[in-house]
Structure formats: C-alpha cells, structure tokens
C-alpha cells in the first residue's frame, strides 16, 4: 500500500490524513527524520509557516526535508506548506525547505479577502475545483521550470515543478480528492 506522510509539526494534519485515506492510501504523521525514509510521498500542510519552519529546525527536520525534496520525493505543500517549499518569500526571514523555484508573497490576498472560496480552473482537471483560501499566499515570481496550473486574477495559486506540487488553497477542507490524487499520480 502507498504510504503518504503528512508533516505533523503544526497545522491541519488530520484533515490531510483523512482525505488521503479516503483515496485508499495510508496517511502517516511524520515528526521525526527517520520517518521520512518510510514514506512514498509527503504532504506539508497549511497552518503557520513560521511556526512549522521553526519547529522543523528544532526537531532536526529541516535538513532531512531538504534532502528528501532534493532527491525527488513527491511532495505537495498547501498554503503554509507552499510557503515552506518556496525558494524565497517577499518579506521577512524565516526557515524554508525550498526546492520550488518561486517567490511567494504571504497573506497576499489582504485583509478584506482573508478567507474566500473560488471555483478554480486547474490544468489537468476536467471540472473546476472549489478552492478554499485562508490567509493565503500567492506566487509573485516563477522560475522557468515551474508550471503554473491555476491562478486567481493572474496571480499563480497552484504550481508544479518536477516532483513538487504546491497550492495556496486547502483541498483537505473539501471532500474533493482530485488534488491529492495528482500527488498520488507522482508516486
């Protein structure tokens, strides 16, 4: 059975495990470096990217995560997870895993639009995806190897680069498993 880890330092870990299990794979919380070696793919959940980053440093996970991503472990970051996978953020200084050649702007949709839903066209999906955005980032700059697969008002909100998939929105908060399925297809 395919084993998909969910980085379990902070954030909505349980929701990801739930949707992964609904797709017939095993969802495994990952808290220790050695647990990274036991999974076929990894989800980095939404939450607070500064907190997740600091905890990854404290638990000795940052370097092992960088290595795993660099070696091509299929990985999917949602919201804070997307921020952690970015090579840079537009402001501030926080620990990042990196690997995804994008610059991300945190909380980019602004106060009035802090949280919203949008019916989103996602490249590769036949029908739009009902996407939930919560204090979401957008992508400010994409590298030449990065494919933009969804955007809101011309701001990229979902991208793919080799074995890295990332979205600003939270598919784990819906009953729709199509985005997680895209990760499983990369295994």
Applying CB under 6 A, which residues contact ligand GLN?
46-49, 79-80, 83, 106-107, 134-135
* Class of residue 33 by CB neighbours under 10 A (exposed 0-12, middle 13-18, buried 19+): middle
Q: What DSSP string describes 105-139?
A: ETTTT-STTSEEEEEE--TT-SS-EEEEEES--EE
Measured from the CB atom, is 16 or 135 closer to ligand GLN?
A: 135
Which two structure tokens, joined as six digits, stand for 147? Answer: 């494919």
Shortest Å, Cβ 106 to ligand GLN: 4
Given the residues 15, 16, 172, 180, select the one marked as catalytic.
172
Shortest Å, Cβ 76 to ligand GLN: 13
* Class of residue 87 by CB neighbours under 10 A (exposed 0-12, middle 13-18, buried 19+): middle
Task: Please say if 180 is a catalytic residue.
Answer: no
Task: Please say if 127 is a catalytic residue.
Answer: no
Measured from the CB atom, is 40 or 134 closer to ligand GLN?
A: 134
Residues 6 or more apart whose CB falls under 8 angstroms from that of 186 comprise 41, 74, 163, 165
Shortest Å, Cβ 167 to ligand GLN: 10
Measured from the CB atom, is 5 or 11 closer to ligand GLN?
A: 11
Shortest Å, Cβ 52 to ligand GLN: 8
CA neighbor of 182 nearest in space, from 129, 143, 116: 129
Given the residues 18, 170, 180, 185, select the one marked as catalytic.
170
Q: What is the Cα–Cα distance from 159 to 138, expressed in whole angstroms?
A: 10
Measured from the CB atom, is 40 or 106 closer to ligand GLN?
A: 106
Task: Please say if 79 is a catalytic residue.
Answer: yes
Active-site residue set: 79, 170, 172
């Amino acid at each position: 059975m395919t084993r998909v880890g969910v980085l379990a330092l902070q954030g909505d870990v349980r929701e990801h495990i739930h949707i992964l299990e609904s797709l017939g794979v095993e969802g495994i919380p990952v808290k220790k470096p050695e647990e990274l070696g036991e999974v076929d793919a990894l989800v980095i959940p939404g939450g607070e990217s500064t907190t997740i980053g600091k905890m990854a440093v404290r638990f000795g996970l940052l370097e092992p995560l960088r290595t795993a991503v660099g070696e091509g472990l299929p990985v999917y970051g949602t919201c804070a997870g997307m921020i952690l996978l970015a090579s840079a953020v537009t402001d501030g200084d926080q620990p990042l895993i990196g690997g995804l050649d994008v610059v991300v702007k945190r909380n980019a949709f602004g106060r009035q639009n802090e949280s919203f839903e949008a019916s989103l066209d996602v490249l590769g999906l036949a029908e739009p995806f009902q996407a939930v955005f919560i204090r979401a980032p957008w992508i400010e700059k994409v590298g030449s190897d990065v494919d933009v697969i969804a955007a809101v008002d011309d701001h990229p909100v979902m991208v793919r680069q080799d074995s890295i998939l990332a979205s600003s929105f939270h598919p784990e908060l819906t009953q729709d498993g199509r985005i997680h399925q895209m990760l499983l297809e990369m295994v």
